[in-house]
Each structure stands twice: as structure tokens, then as C-alpha cells.
A and B are shown apart, each in its own frame.
Chain A
Amino acid sequence: MSVLVNKKLKVLVQGITGAQASFHVQRALKYGTNIVAGVAPNKKETSYLGLPLFGTVQEAKEKTGANASIVFVPAKYAKSAILEAIKAELELVVVITSGIPVRDMMEIKHELLHSSTTLIGPNTPGIITPNEAYMGIFPDNIHKSGDIGIVSRSSTLTYEVVLEINKIGFGESTVVGLGDDFIIGTSFVEIIKKFNSDKNTKAIVLIGGIGGNYETEAADFYAKLSKKKTTIALILDDPTPLSDNKGLAPEIICRGITSSMDKKRILQNSGMIVVDNISALKSELLKL
């Protein structure tokens, strides 16, 4: 058992012929990810990197039985690529692309309300189930299989956490990068729900982001869970230069004051263990 990504998932890659995509697809194949097809509109070739190449997601799905997609399509064209994957009713779409316009994401998010697709990202390192498969751009060999489920709004900080907790003997059931753009397809809530019912996950680590109120939403959900696994939230203190936008009135009105202090208090009240540095996180894990 794992969350979202496993060996059986049949993955297609949108925008596979780009340099970044090609590089990461080869690494993922080597790792064991079951990538079955590539999609690149306007390409004459019928195969790429040894994978069959199709013009549309629908065709790739019909011919290969793919049920998930990794999107590497450049920001300008990402909206139509993502909407195509949603329309083809793929179960899971992981968007690596960064710099997608806010309005495009708003339209995508509203489209998701009427679909069964789970969208992860954009601007995410992806999802990895160690020793099985990953969809994304994770660095080599830092993950180990284990029973800690990690869900994060940050990418590099997640790598740091993984390196540090593995040093003291832990490993990960699955690591889910939500992406650190303003608007993301899936928030903490859905992933906590999945980890909470995953047999292989013993405890959950939540890594918060800078600004925004996705953490508040997570706290509301966690507080109401009847049977809950231990969840440790890592919320770093934010020095003001990193959160310049926080002081705008409309943002305060819409999202509440979401400084790291507020996030820590809200998460703590929901029943999570809250830490503000990685060594404290390690100590809490050792107490499990």
C-alpha cells in the first residue's frame, strides 16, 4: 500500500520531448515507474525514448490504458494540456510546470470541481513512493522506503527533511509535494485523508509553506477526524523579507493573518504536534 503512486499506475507524459521532461523520464523509468506513453501534439515521430508517442491524451489512454499523467508542458500551453488530461478522465495528473498564470489555474480548479481527477501541483517536485515509483523530478537516491507519510508545500525543504530523517533510520511510505504556487490542485486535506487510511503509513509529516491559508484548512479537517494518526507539522518562522505580500489588506481579509505564529497556533489547536525546526521534528519522530 502507498498513497497515489505505485508500480501499477500506468503513466503517460505530456510534453515528453522537452529537454527537462526527457531527462526526468529516463530517470523515472530506471527507478521503476510504469511510464507507458508520451504525448506531444504536432510530432511526426511515433515513438520517443522507446515509448509510443501520441498526439492526444485521449488516444494515448485508449491505446495504452494509461490512467495518470505527468505534465511538463511549458506554462503558456499548460492550461490546455491539463484540461485535456481532465477531459480524458485520467485519475491522477501531476503538474511539474512552474509559472502558470493565476487565472489559468483558477479556470482549471473550477473545472476540477466537476471531475474525478486528482490534480497535484503545479510547480511541484511530484509524488514518490520509495523503491516503487515516482511521478516528478525527485533527486537521486535520497528517499528510503518506510512508514512516514510526508505532504509538503515546499520542494527543497522536503529534500532536506527526507535526508535528515533517513539519517536516523526512518523512511517514507509516500512523499507528496503539493507545489508552492498560490493556487494548487490538491491541498493538505485530501492527502492527510489518504495517509490516515493508508496501512503502510504510521505517522504523517506536514511541511507548511510561506503565506496562504492551506494550513488553516488542514487544521480544521484534522481537528474533526475521529481516528487520527500522529501528525507532526513543520512550520518554519518567517522573517518578513520572505513574505512581502502578507501585509496587503485584501489578503488579510480573505485569508486571515497567516503568519507562521498563527499557523503554529492553529495547527497545535487541531491536535497536531508542531515544530519549527528539523531537529525538533527528528526528536518527535523518535518518540513514536
Chain B
Amino acid sequence: MNIHEYQAKKIFKQFGINVPNGLVAYTPTEAKLAAETVSEFGPWVVKAQIQAGSRDVGKFSDKRAGRKGGIRLSKTLEEVFDNADEMLENLLVTNQTGAKGRLVSRVYIEEYIKTIRKFYLGLVVDWVSASVFLLVAPVSDKDDDDIVKLAIESPETILKINLGLQKEIKNKQLTQIVSFMNMQIELSELKTFLNRMLKLFYTYDATLLEINPIGIAKSGKIWALDAKIVFDESALYRHPEIQKLSDDSEIEERELIASKFGFQYKELESGIGIIVNGDGLALNTINQAKNMGISTACFLNLKGGVDRDKISASIKLIMTNPRVDGIFINILGGFSRCNLIADGIITVADDLGLNIPLVARFEGTNKDEATDILKKSGLPLSIAEDTTQGLQLIKEAIAEDL
């Protein structure tokens, strides 16, 4: 689960990590008021709050926002107002948002902290070694100095330290960081900072903690100028206070409905809607469809067991997508009796009527019974023996339907 920067910074503060004063604002007027509260004279930084990185090098889709990115230095209160006005209710596109971008519904107004040195810092769980890695890299203020780009093009400029399950940083690791970065810094200050980050990481079951950048002031004080935390969704039950921070406003409506049922739902182009019960099967069905000249509008992964209610809910959800012109249900090893799949389809037909072509393919117990029920229903649907036949049938049905 992702949270916004301003929420992450609040958590940082609780752990004693230095963050600039800041307030969140939903309107330009609020932004100006917030600026007056956080710092008397400025300058201020106006930051678009979306749950994706590379905001400073991103671009807004609406031209009224100009060519500047989602993080802007503002010298006067009027500039704060104008920048907030340009960003709010506008779509910000970065290399992590996809082409459509994300809607900025709030901005964070922060006091500007003057620093003499900046660097990138990350804590992340590595899958294969099942360990926490500490990542450190120098960054500058240049627009094109993006960490993702750095990771791809010059990974050697990033220091990686395997921390295992260490809860505290070791002295020799501190020396390693300081010499890699070639920086003048009080070791005890850096140690306290990193230990607090580790404490936060473990306390809240984070899988990623990223500060891009950290700033070092002339006084030697270390500041988290940015904050990103990703939490392990499987561990959220241990942290109800974190669960409450979830912001649904960036999630598409149908995706949100799907997640309430425990489904995974994604929209692609226009064409068929696919209902499956696994990631691998989803991918295979989409790819096979593509090879047969069939485009996919969306797929829905039921995840786990299959029953009548799940089937009918998933069909109903897919039918609300106007870009879907046929539905293919492809279910393997769902461990339910197949007649429940048949019941689910018939429930939808009874409730809403089945106005688009549907093909079902399933394996499991009571398969013959289920096939019979569906064949006798008189509904405009077909039963397939395998994925290839299923896709062929839905292709033909859509062609006839047009």
C-alpha cells in the first residue's frame, strides 16, 4: 500500500526524523494560508501529492500549468497561490504514472530548507536474499538526474549494502557510506538518522522506504526533504492506523469496486473482458488472444476460490465497462463445483439480462452438469473445451453481434 508524501512525513516526524514544516492544501487559497503558517518569510516548496515518483521531472497534461513539474520553489505567497492553482485538478504525468497521469487533488506546502549536499537513500526488501538492502546515491538538482534513469543507465553510481535482518546500522557500514559519498558529515548524526529509518521500516512492515533526496544543511543537520513508504499489504492487519491512510481517489472506480470483492481488475484497450482465477492464466489468455487478433479491454482475476456470487459480481462489473464487447470466462482448478459457475452466469442473466456474447471454459467437478445447465438456459453463450477454442468462439460471437 502506498501513501502520500505528507502522510509519510508525519510518520517520519513520529520517529524523530527531521522533516521541513509543512501543511496539506486542497485549494489555492488554502495553499497560501498554509504557506503563511509554515514559514514567515519563505521561500516555500509547492509539491503535488500523487502516489508516484519522479514528480519534479513530470509534466502536467493541461497546458495552463506550463512546462514545469510537480515540485516547485515559490518565492512569494502569490507564487504559492499560482503554482497550487496550476497543479490542482490537473493530471501529472511522470515516468511512473503511465501516459494518462494522476489527478492532483491536493498539494503540500513546505518551508524551503537550504542544504549544501543532497543524496538519495532507500531501504528495500530483496526477494531472492530475503534481506533488507540499503541504497545510497548522489543526486543533484539537475532535471535529468532522475534516480530511475540512474538505476538503469549507471547502476555503479549507486551503493548497495546488504543489511540482512539488521535492526541497527554498523559502524563499518557508516564508514562505507561516507567514503562512497565522499562527504563531510558527523557519523553519529548519520547513524541516528539511519537507525530511525530502520526502526520505522520494521515497526510498520514497510517493504520500501525511499528518501529522494536527503539534504545536509551547513549546520550538519540531516533533513528528509522527500518521503516515500510502501507498506506490505499482507501485514496491514498489524497496523490499523496505517490502513486508515489509504487514499482511494487515485484508483479507478471499477478497480476500486473489484478490490472490495478481493478481485484484481485492470483495464487495457477495448475488446473482450476476461475473467480468470490466476495471474499466469490471465497473462496467457491475453497473449493468446493477441496472437489470434483479439484485443483485450480488461481482465479480472478472481484470486482464490470460485463461487456463484463471485462469478456474478465479476460479470456485472465487467459489463459496466463500455469498451467490452464480449466476455470470456476461463477458470482452472478453482475447486468449486462447476455448477456454481453456471449458477453465477444465470444469476446475472436473470438480474440484468445478458446483452453481450459470453463464452465459458472451466475444469473441475460437476463439469457435465454445469455444461448442461448452461446449454439448456437458452442464453446467448457457448462452452469451450480449452483456451484456444474459447477465444475462437468469443471472436466469432462478437463478429455476429456487430
Give the secondary structure class of B's interface: mixed
Write the residues of chain B forming the contact surface with A, with a CB cutoff of 8 angstroms: 53, 95-96, 98, 120, 122-128, 130-133, 135, 147-148, 150-152, 155, 158, 160, 164-165, 202, 205, 207-208, 210, 212, 230, 232, 234-235, 237-238, 266-268, 276-284, 286-288, 291, 304, 332-333, 335, 363-365, 386-387
Jot down 18 A-B pairs with beta carbons below 8 A, ordered by A. A102-B207, A102-B234, A103-B205, A105-B130, A106-B125, A110-B164, A154-B281, A155-B280, A156-B280, A157-B281, A160-B332, A182-B125, A183-B125, A242-B279, A242-B283, A248-B208, A250-B210, A253-B135
Q: How many residues of A contact B (CB 8 A)?
A: 63
A98 and B304 form a contact (CB under 8 A) = yes
Q: Is A84 an interface residue (CB 8 A)?
A: no
A210 and B232 form a contact (CB under 8 A) = no
A238 and B283 form a contact (CB under 8 A) = yes
Instruction: Report the stretch among A33-41, A64-72, A134-142 that lies at the interface.
Output: A134-142
B234 and A101 form a contact (CB under 8 A) = yes
Known: A139-B363, A155-B280, A157-B284. A254 touches B234 (CB 8 A): no
Task: Name the B residues within 8 Å of A17 (CB-CB).
Answer: none
Q: Which residue of B lies closest to A24 (CB)?
A: B335
- Inter-chain CA distance A28–B123, complex, in Å, is 43
Q: Which residue of B lies closest to A110 (CB)?
A: B165
Interchain nearest-CB distance for B165 vs A (Å): 6
Known: A163-B386, A249-B210, A254-B133. A207 touches B127 (CB 8 A): no
Interchain nearest-CB distance for B148 vs A (Å): 5
B127 touches which of A137, A155, A182, A210 (Cβ 8 Å) = A182
A160 and B281 form a contact (CB under 8 A) = yes
Q: Is A230 an interface residue (CB 8 A)?
A: no
Task: Name the B residues within 8 Å of A180 (CB-CB).
Answer: 279-280
Q: Is A76 an interface residue (CB 8 A)?
A: yes
A253 and B278 form a contact (CB under 8 A) = no
Write the residues of chain A forming the contact surface with B, with a CB cutoff of 8 angstroms: 23, 75-76, 98-107, 109-110, 125, 137-140, 142, 152-160, 163-164, 180, 182-183, 187, 207, 209-210, 212-214, 217, 236-242, 247-255, 257, 276-278
Interchain nearest-CB distance for B224 vs A (Å): 16
Task: Name the A residues within 8 Å of B365 (CB-CB).
Answer: 140
Q: Which residue of B lies closest to A254 (CB)?
A: B126
Interchain nearest-CB distance for B38 vs A (Å): 29
Task: Name the B residues within 8 Å of A154 (CB-CB).
Answer: 278-281
